[in-house]
Amino acid sequence: MTDTIQIVCDNLGGRVEAAAGTSLSELAARIGPRTLPFLAAEVDNRIKELSYRLYAPATVRFVDLSSFAGIRVYQRTAWFILQKAVQDLYPAQKLHIRHSLGRSGFYCEIEGIDEFTAAEADALRERMQRIVGADLPIRRVRALTSEVRARYAAQGYDDKIALLDTRPRLYSEYHTLDDTVGYFYGALAPSTGYVRLFGIEPYYNGFYLALPLRTAPDRIHTDFYQEKMFGIFREYQSWVRIMGVPTVGDVNAKVLAGDAGGMIKLAEAFHERKFAWVADSIYEANLTRGTRMVLISGPSSSGKTTSAKRLGIQLGVLGLKPVMISLDDYFVEREKTPRDENGEYDYEALEAIDLELFNDHLRRLMAGESIDIPRYDFVTGRRTKHDAPLTLDERSILIVEGIHGLNPRLTPSIPDEQKFRIYISCFTSVAMDNLSRIATTDNRLLRRLVRDSRQRGSDALSTLARWPSVRRGEERHIFPYQENADVMLNSSLFYEISVLRPYAEKMLREVPDTVPEYDEARRMLKFLDNFIPIAPDEIPPTSILREFIGGSSFQY
């Protein structure tokens, strides 16, 4: 007699019975055909591939393209198919998935090809379509790390070997797709047939891999012409290659060699040069077009506050007087905050800002009046009065930092020529390996976890629970305006995740396995395990990273 187990599955309407050893794909088949196929499932709040078999009672929730977990599975599977297609067409050359671009795609290059033509894009797209049409199985294999290393060496994956060598384990895992070996640091779909929607378009020296959006999963999007952001990514990736740290394995090797301090000094010096350059640009705009206001925008945990303060120092060197305002201090009181479609407070909405008060203060400042700006308390959700009135004179530059800085609705009464717009984000430049990029959202989430614990009294569970709402708000209220910027700044430091690891790990381990956020905590812990920790001792007090870990010489 076959043993049966109880499964609680919302997708199946509640409690069902299944034979012990039933795979997730077999369980999903009970639901029948769907417009959006299931890509993986959360089993007891842990993401699992559909090949996973159930031997004990469990709670199961299947995910598709419309979820954050599902879109990551789709992306990783598409990367593996792309890797296979490039290997078939260019067996002697290496693929590099450089960075995200546009709303839902990735910029890629193939070593040795300086200009990817339309004909080459057509051939690559056709090869991927054949692989998808063949519905080839994708399998996860667990083996001795020495065996995995040998397989990587046979295919010339020096980048993956570097990470294996700096994080030694007895056993490791990899994926297989026909004759291709790879690993993408997370769950993949069970076969190539799950990735039906994609596009390949020539772009710059390489090509753009277009994929569906989580919010519009029924079509691909090719709105990838974001020249300013593309330029920032290329600049930093070129720089980390020159510095010899393009991948996590390279960073780890330098840490193990005792060169963490040298990396910190180089990264911080690079930041300082960029702030000086931006200050020079603002000074020139002040002279030529009468610019009096600097608007600094960017998504959560981009380092906007420290960037504003460091920029203010550089403007002071040029003889200008920076006066700073944080949009966070103009939040309406908590009970007046608008709510999103899930009924949660939407702090990313422009209406979460007291626009009437903010614009009244701008008008009065520009007229030479003195104002008392508010101070927002994130713990109580209340505004209090600031004890230092602000006034502008003829040498003053008003610096306003906040997520809505580039939204024209924020400052409708200020002429465009008087504004200098800066978009800043944590554009992570170091990759896990040539084919696995580090999502900028993961880097920012680590920053936010550490900062919110220290400054706002939030534990990891509350920060993780809020993060999907934060990301939805960014997609609606911030990202559409990023190309409005006069300049873009990258606040990432290629050594920073190694520093953040000990802070974040302790918090993430406290997330219980009884909540949906447990899977995200577990995923981040597995991610952090790839980094050799760096002590913060040599990080200067003016570093952007100090905004999150503490020890800054700036007042916040």
Same structural domain, 172 and 99: yes
Between 413 and 48, residue with greater pLDDT: 48
The span from the CA of 546 to the CA of 479, in Å, is: 25
Mean pLDDT to the nearest integer, 397-408: 93
Which residue among 64, 80, 108 closes a domain?
64
DSSP letters spanning 516-534: TTHHHHHHHHHHHTTS---
Same structural domain, 332 and 255: yes
Confidence class for position 291, pLDDT limits 50, 70, 90: very high
Please report the pLDDT score of residue 224 as a whole number.
64
Contact 240, 494 (CB under 8 A): yes
Please report the pLDDT score of residue 2 as a whole number.
59
Domain contains 121: yes
- Give me the sign of the Cα torsion angle 284, 289, 293, 298: negative
Confidence class for position 225, pLDDT limits 50, 70, 90: low
Alpha helix positions (H), 428-483: 440-455, 460-477
Mean pLDDT to the nearest integer, 161-189: 92
419-425 and 487-490 beta bridge pairing:
parallel
Same structural domain, 239 and 206: no
The CATH number of the domain holding residue 49 is 3.10.20.30
Contact 479, 103 (CB under 8 A): yes
Domain contains 554: no
Residue type, 425: S
Domain contains 396: yes
Same structural domain, 210 and 282: no
**508: pLDDT strictly greater than 80:** yes
Same structural domain, 164 and 234: no
Same structural domain, 16 and 121: no
Same structural domain, 363 and 254: yes
Please report the pLDDT score of residue 177 as a whole number.
96
Backbone angles phi, psi at 514, to 5 degrees: -95, 0
User: What six digits make up the tokens of 499?
Assistant: 């520093």
Q: What do you get for the CA distance between the two ends of the chain, in Å?
A: 66
- Count other C-beta atoms under 10 Å from residue 13's C-beta: 8
Which residue among 16, 47, 64 closes a domain?
64
Backbone angles phi, psi at 22, to 5 degrees: -65, 135
User: What six digits make up the tokens of 484?
Assistant: 């409005």
The span from the CA of 96 to the CA of 83, in Å, is: 9
Same structural domain, 194 and 286: no
Q: What is the CA radius of gyration of the chain?
A: 25
Residue type, 61: R
Number of domains in the chain: 3
The CATH number of the domain holding residue 171 is 3.30.980.10
Residue type, 267: A
Domain contains 489: yes
Same structural domain, 98 and 122: yes
Confidence class for position 1, pLDDT limits 50, 70, 90: very low
The 3-class SS string of 181-237 reads: EECCCCCCCCEHHHCCCCEEEEECCEEEEECEECCEEEEECCCCCCHHHHHHHHHHH
Mean pLDDT to the nearest integer, 273-300: 95
Contact 189, 73 (CB under 8 A): yes
> 8-12, 57-61, 124-128, 397-401: lowest mean pLDDT where?
8-12
Same structural domain, 289 and 387: yes
Please report the pLDDT score of residue 351 as a whole number.
92
Confidence class for position 287, pLDDT limits 50, 70, 90: very high
Residue 445 belongs to what domain range?
A: 229-549
Domain contains 199: yes
Same structural domain, 279 and 161: no
Mean pLDDT to the nearest integer, 437-446: 93
Same structural domain, 212 and 233: no
Q: Which residue has the tokens 């696995």?
A: 436
In sequence order, what are the beta bridge partners of 6? 17
Give the tens place of pLDDT for each residue, 54-111.
999 999 999 999 998 999 999 999 999 999 999 999 999 999 999 888 777 999 999 9
Backbone angles phi, psi at 101, to 5 degrees: -155, 140
The CATH number of the domain holding residue 368 is 3.40.50.300
The span from the CA of 75 to the CA of 79, in Å, is: 6
Contact 495, 267 (CB under 8 A): yes
- Count other C-beta atoms under 10 Å from residue 381's C-beta: 15
Please report the pLDDT score of residue 343 as a whole number.
81
The span from the CA of 227 to the CA of 213, in Å, is: 20
Contact 244, 250 (CB under 8 A): yes
Domain contains 39: yes
User: What six digits make up the tokens of 239?
Assistant: 């720089």
Which residue among 225, 246, 276 closes a domain?
225
In sequence order, what are the beta bridge partners of 4? 19
The span from the CA of 282 to the CA of 272, in Å, is: 15
Q: What is the pTM of this model?
A: 0.88
Mean pLDDT to the nearest integer, 374-388: 83
Domain contains 555: no
CA nearest neighbour of 323 among 276, 376, 385, 370: 370
CA nearest neighbour of 357 among 388, 383, 391: 383
Domain contains 123: yes
